[in-house]
Structure formats: C-alpha cells, structure tokens
Chains A and B, each alone.
Chain A
C-alpha cells in the first residue's frame, strides 16, 4: 500500500487541523493570513497533483484498491484544489467583513476540499459515500455559516434536508447495487457489469445512486435546491458549491458511467439525454426573469450541469474528456464571477443585477472580469466556455450518427445556449450600458482579489486561446475509462 498516494488529502486534513490549533494562538486580526497561507498551499498542491503520479501513467491503488489515483482523479483534484485556493482567497476577503470566527471557515473549506478529492479517488461505494458525506456535512455548515442572517440559515436548512434526502437515496441505491452485485468494490462490479446491466435490482440501485449524485450536480429532478441555496449562502460557499460540490458529483458520475458500468450508460442513453435536456431548459428558462445574481448563477449552474451530463450521456471517451474540459473552463469562469459578485455583495450589500449599474465606471477590473466570465459562460470564443461547449457538442453530434434523437438534444442545447445569452448578456448590459446612476464612487478592490481575478481571467483566456494542453490532459485522463 502506498500511502503517498494520499499525500494531498493528508496534507489538506493536516493543514485543517493545524489551522484549528493555530486559531488558538493567532490574534483575531491576523487570522486572515491563515486563509491566505491555506490558499497558497492549495495552489501548490494543485501543481503537485498535476505533476504527480497517475495523471498520465497507469493508475495507482491504495487501501485494498479502494482508493485509486488515476488520470481522472488527478484531473479533478487539480480542479478542486484550484477552486479551493481561489475560494480561500475569496473567503479571506469575505471573512474580513464578518464579525465571526474565520479560521473555522477556512478549515471547513479545507475539509470539504479533502472530501472532494477523496471522492475523486473513490473506488468503492463505501469510500465514495463517506467522502461525499464529508463534503455534504461540511457544506451544511458552510452554507449556514452566517447564522445571524436568516437567508444563510434558511439556505443551510434547505441544503441539509434535501442533502440528507439525496444521501438517503444514495445509500439505498448503494444497498441495492450491493445486493445485486455482492460487492461494494467498483472494480469487482465493473468485472461483471455486463450482466449486472440487465439486473433489475442493480438498475434500480444505480438509478437511486444517480439521483443522489444528480443532487450534487444539481440535475433534474434534484435541481430545485440550487437557486435557493446559492442565493442564501455566503458568496465563497456558493462559489465552492458551484464548482467543488458539482465537480465531486461529476467525477463520480464519470467514474460510475464511464468505468464501473458503461453498459448501463449505453442502456440509459435516453434517460441521461432527457435529464440533460430538461436540466438545460429548466435552468435556462428560469434564469430569464432572474434579478439576483447569485440566484441567476444557481439556475445557470443547473443548465451547465445539463451540459456536463450531455458529455457523460454520450458514453464516449470524447464526451468524458469534454466533460473534464468543460469543468476546467467552468472552474475559472464561475470563480471569476463569484469573486466579482462577492465584492459587489459586500460593498453594496445587495446582489441584485441593477446594483451592477455603472460598475464599469466604479471598478473597471471587476466589470471586465465579470463580463468575461459571463461571456465565457455563454460560450463565446475565444474564452474557455466556448471550447467546452464546442467539445460537448462535438461529442454529442458524434453520437447523432447512430441515434438521431441526439440531434433533438442538440436542438435543446442550442435553445439553452441562446437563452443563456439572454441572461448572461443581461448582466453585461447592467454593467456597461449607460444608465443614470447617481453613485459613481470608485469601489476598491483588494490586491489579493486582484491577483485571484487575474488568475481566473488568465485561465479563462488560456483555456479558450490555447486549449490544446488541457484538452490533451483531459483525453489522457479519460484514457482509462472502459468506454
């Protein structure tokens, strides 16, 4: 057994513990630096993971093969760590304005991060469940962190109940899968997946597991919580939910449908297509009349979940790689958006779109970054979002030759994108279009946030302008899938 495979996770957990201890000795006004240090470390870990074992070569196993380090997990870990780093930066800035314990917030982020990374490496239903629960339980606290705000508490309760409900489905599903296959181990299930795919009990179980994971990704029919929780939670939490929690769900979906039971993915093509299509439409349509920025991104996250699921539904390596790329682009885009939103919410104490009016004047950097993020989310070249959508659509069209219904899904995706232009560009409009607005005072942007924004914008541009490297990495990451 090679414990070093767990290195990043162990470091994170250790860091979390260390921060908890440090909290005792560091004076309150200095605790922000703890978050900063954690961010730097997360970024360093991300770089380590990118160069670490398994990303390109053969997968490595630990703990009775229940923990796997392969391309897929490596890719997602890099995503999670980057997200974590930026969210920590955001949290440092955010915590500054809270009259509340801050170190715990950083610690919880770190633990959630560890949970996501463990989930990415899970090769067994038990590990998967426990890792996911680590993420979920942490997020219960993170969402309701501002317990002097009713909205935050309400978001927390909603996330709690619905999260627990989805966990219940997940657990029951795991039970059924276990009953049908006689094992919790992914590899053993994969070995007999061909016959299991026809096993009704296994199908039922996997449906429930899918339901549980769909909750994380905010997919229909488990999508309803997302807008409420996004709106109510503190901005850093929302950002982390949008990319981290979603990513954890996605990596498990990819692993389950790509590696564990690919036959099922083929069999369930219509289901996954339908869910993807409905999610896209639901998210896009509901976002149209939205005025709250965070809520808007909640709906948008549903639609984006749908796009991701398209890639999974294609049950092809190209599709899975597209998912990976898509999420990588989504990472920078959403983080940039939330960095700006968090700034705006803190300074202006509202997240209504109209609050953005005149932002290009008050904080050109924020406005430009948010505009880029929105345009990238909409999928316009030369930004990351475009290439992600392109890859997903490419994977989709590739299936069209065998099953024309895919073209219908393409139609739905197009409609979704067009509608998404509507609301994303509505945000751009709010910032740039001349509206009479009395308050034109300059909004200060802390240097740390500027750096984070620069990183995100660079990511958005780099993934759009030079997608080759990441795409090749994504292709290598899914090379081990049994598709």
Chain B
C-alpha cells in the first residue's frame, strides 16, 4: 500500500515538476505556478508517507498556500506573456540539458553506489512533539535567527515596493 502510494505520489510529483519547468503545451507562468502547487501537494503526500506530518502540513500551508499564492498574485499583477514570443536557443537548451543530466546522473550514481539503502530501516515515529522539542531547545538559536530573517524580508519588501520614495 505504502509502496503504491509512494509510486503514485512520486510519479505525480515528478510529472507536475516537469510540467512546471517544461510544459510542452504552454509556457504560461500561471500554468507553471499551478503545476508547482500540485508538486508541493504531492510532495506533502510523500512527507506523510515518511511520517513527517507536521512538515507535510507546513508544506501545504506555507508553500502551496502562502508562497504560491504570492507567486500567482505577482504573475497576475505583472501580466506576463512575453516568454511565448521568444525562440528557444537550441544550443542553450542542449547544453543546459547536458549539464543537468550530468549532475543528475552523478548524483544518482553516487546515491546508488553509496549503498545506504540496504541497512537502514525507516524508524522515526511520532514526530511532531519531537520536532517541537528540538525546535525550542537545541534549535532555539536558528529559530530566533529566522525571526530576524523574516524581519529583514519584511523591511526589504516594504523598501522595494513602496510606491513613493521619500
């Protein structure tokens, strides 16, 4: 059952990921954004399979919810359609594909050759309290730093998009 779900979620996630970056039917950013949302959703499914329920929820809430809405919002605001007009640079595409394929190939080969799969068992359970404890004990420092990051982002966004400059 889990395996089947894995195959479904993983396959869909990859498919939607592919459609996000290289949709053969349209190059509309809206489509990309929507497929990205779908990818996020399937990924959160995978997280659930991995018993990372909190993360799965956050994934849906923050990513699919907040971040992607932001994306869509901006897309709508900017009214982007130009990319469709432009030609693909065949050489660039080929080179990009080769580079990415190389990276992927090396990563996959490394993963396969490293032989990490055989020994390990999926063991981590009951993760949300554990996560919370970790976050507020050992990882309090990054947690606080992140707050500063968010503050910076806030200040930055205001600075960058304030309409009038004083």
Tell me whether A and B are bound partners. yes
The smallest C-beta distance from A329 to any residue of chain B, in angstroms, reads 30
Q: Which residues of A contact B137 (CB under 8 A)?
A: 64
Q: Which residues of A contact B113 (CB under 8 A)?
A: 200
A141/B152 in contact, CB under 8 A: yes
Flag whether A398 is at the interface (Cβ < 8 A).
no
Flag whether B138 is at the interface (Cβ < 8 A).
yes
Given contacts A108-B155, A147-B160, contact A118 B114 (CB under 8 A): no
A134/B141 in contact, CB under 8 A: no
The smallest C-beta distance from A18 to any residue of chain B, in angstroms, reads 13
A108/B152 in contact, CB under 8 A: yes
Which of A63, A140, A180 has a CB less than 8 Å from the CB of B140? A63
Report the separation of the CA atoms of residues A232 and B151 in the bound assembly, to the nearest whole angstrom: 25
Which of B111, B140, B159 has a CB less than 8 Å from the CB of A101? B159
The smallest C-beta distance from B102 to any residue of chain A, in angstroms, reads 13
B110/A134 in contact, CB under 8 A: no
A100/B138 in contact, CB under 8 A: no
The smallest C-beta distance from A290 to any residue of chain B, in angstroms, reads 26
Q: Which residues of A contact B160 (CB under 8 A)?
A: 141, 144, 147
A137/B114 in contact, CB under 8 A: no
B110/A200 in contact, CB under 8 A: yes
Q: Mark A171-205, 1 if CB is under 8 A from B, else 0.
A: 00000000110000000000000000001110110
Give chain A interface residues in 96-140, CB to chain B under 8 Å: 99-101, 104, 107-108, 111, 114-115, 118, 124, 126-127, 129-131, 133-134, 137-138, 140
B166/A99 in contact, CB under 8 A: yes
B166/A101 in contact, CB under 8 A: yes
A130/B146 in contact, CB under 8 A: yes
A148/B165 in contact, CB under 8 A: yes
The smallest C-beta distance from B132 to any residue of chain A, in angstroms, reads 15
Given contacts A63-B141, A99-B166, A101-B159, contact A137 B153 (CB under 8 A): yes
Flag whether A13 is at the interface (Cβ < 8 A).
yes
Which of A126, A130, A141, A148 has a CB less than 8 Å from the CB of B156? A141
Give chain B interface residues in 136-151, CB to chain A under 8 Å: 137-142, 145-146, 148-149, 151
Name the CB-closest residue of B to A17: B151
Give chain B interface residues in 115-166, CB to chain A under 8 Å: 116, 137-142, 145-146, 148-149, 151-153, 155-156, 159-160, 165-166
The smallest C-beta distance from B9 to any residue of chain A, in angstroms, reads 19
Flag whether B107 is at the interface (Cβ < 8 A).
yes
Q: Which residues of B contact A179 (CB under 8 A)?
A: 116
B149/A133 in contact, CB under 8 A: yes
Q: Which residues of A contact B142 (CB under 8 A)?
A: 66, 124, 126-127, 129-131
Flag whether A145 is at the interface (Cβ < 8 A).
yes
The smallest C-beta distance from A316 to any residue of chain B, in angstroms, reads 29
Report the separation of the CA atoms of residues A263 and B160 in the bound assembly, to the nearest whole angstrom: 45
Interface SS majority for chain A: helix
Q: Which residues of A contact B151 (CB under 8 A)?
A: 111
Name the CB-closest residue of A to B159: A104
The smallest C-beta distance from B134 to any residue of chain A, in angstroms, reads 10
Name the CB-closest residue of B to A141: B156
The smallest C-beta distance from B18 to any residue of chain A, in angstroms, reads 18
Which of B107, B156, B165 has a CB less than 8 Å from the CB of A137? B156
Q: Which residues of B contact A141 (CB under 8 A)?
A: 152, 155-156, 159-160
The smallest C-beta distance from B78 to any residue of chain A, in angstroms, reads 14
Flag whether A37 is at the interface (Cβ < 8 A).
no
B153/A180 in contact, CB under 8 A: no
Which of A13, A124, A144 has a CB less than 8 Å from the CB of B148? A13
Report the separation of the CA atoms of residues A452 and B151 in the bound assembly, to the nearest whole angstrom: 30
Given contacts A63-B138, A100-B166, contact A180 B149 (CB under 8 A): no
Give chain B interface residues in 25-56, CB to chain A under 8 Å: none
Report the separation of the CA atoms of residues A67 and B140 in the bound assembly, to the nearest whole angstrom: 11
Report the separation of the CA atoms of residues A336 and B67 in the bound assembly, to the nearest whole angstrom: 41
B166/A130 in contact, CB under 8 A: no
Report the separation of the CA atoms of residues A236 and B79 in the bound assembly, to the nearest whole angstrom: 34
Q: Mark A338-376, 1 if CB is under 8 A from B, else 0.
A: 000000000000000000000000000000000000000
A130/B138 in contact, CB under 8 A: no
Given contacts A67-B141, A199-B114, contact A137 B152 (CB under 8 A): yes
Q: Which residues of B contact A140 (CB under 8 A)?
A: 156
Q: Which residues of A contact B141 (CB under 8 A)?
A: 6, 62-63, 66-67, 118, 127
Q: Which residues of A contact B159 (CB under 8 A)?
A: 101, 104, 141, 145, 147
Name the CB-closest residue of B to A145: B159
Give chain A interface residues in 1-58, CB to chain B under 8 Å: 6, 13, 20, 28
Name the CB-closest residue of A to B145: A130
Q: Which residues of B contact A64 (CB under 8 A)?
A: 137-138
Which of B116, B145, B155 has a CB less than 8 Å from the CB of A180? B116
Across the A-B interface, the 8 shortest Cβ-Cβ residue pairs = A141-B156, A64-B138, A130-B142, A201-B114, A63-B141, A200-B114, A130-B145, A204-B110
Q: Could you name 14 residue pairs across A and B whose Cβ atoms are closer than 8 Å?
A: A63-B141, A64-B137, A101-B165, A104-B159, A108-B155, A115-B145, A141-B159, A179-B116, A180-B116, A200-B110, A200-B113, A201-B110, A201-B111, A201-B116
Besides A67-B141, A101-B165, A134-B152, 9 other CB < 8 A contacts?
A20-B155, A62-B141, A66-B142, A100-B165, A134-B148, A141-B152, A141-B155, A201-B110, A204-B106
